[in-house]
Amino acid sequence: MIKRPSSWVVILYDVPSEPSKLKVRVWREFKKLGAIYPQMSLCILPNNDENIVKLDEIVVSLDLEMNVCHLSLIRIHHIHLF
């Protein structure tokens, strides 16, 4: 049986559509961390120390590059999966 994370981080983000490579880069970085995308600019990541550190790195690199990325994080400690 697959072990499911016990808590999650919900991320709402706003990255300009141009240049498109920035939006694609953010999507790829989050997917590498195991993100689930119910819709564009909204992803759900397993809440663990490794992902939180990597998330901080992504935010810093985006801020240095464009100074236009906005992220909102919500930590969820239980999701009932059907």
Evaluate whether 45 touches 51 at the Cβ level (below 8 Å): yes
* Arithmetic mean of pLDDT, 62-72: 65
What is d(CA 33, CA 44) in angstroms, rounded to the nearest whole number? Answer: 10
pLDDT tens, 29-64? 889 988 888 877 788 888 888 988 888 888 777 766
**What are the residue ranges spanned by the domains of the chain?**
8-76
Specify the CATH class of 8-76 in words. Answer: alpha beta
Q: From CA 31, how far away is CA 33, in angstroms rounded? A: 5
pLDDT tens, residue by residue, 15-36: 777 778 888 888 888 899 888 8
Residue 79: its pLDDT value, please?
61
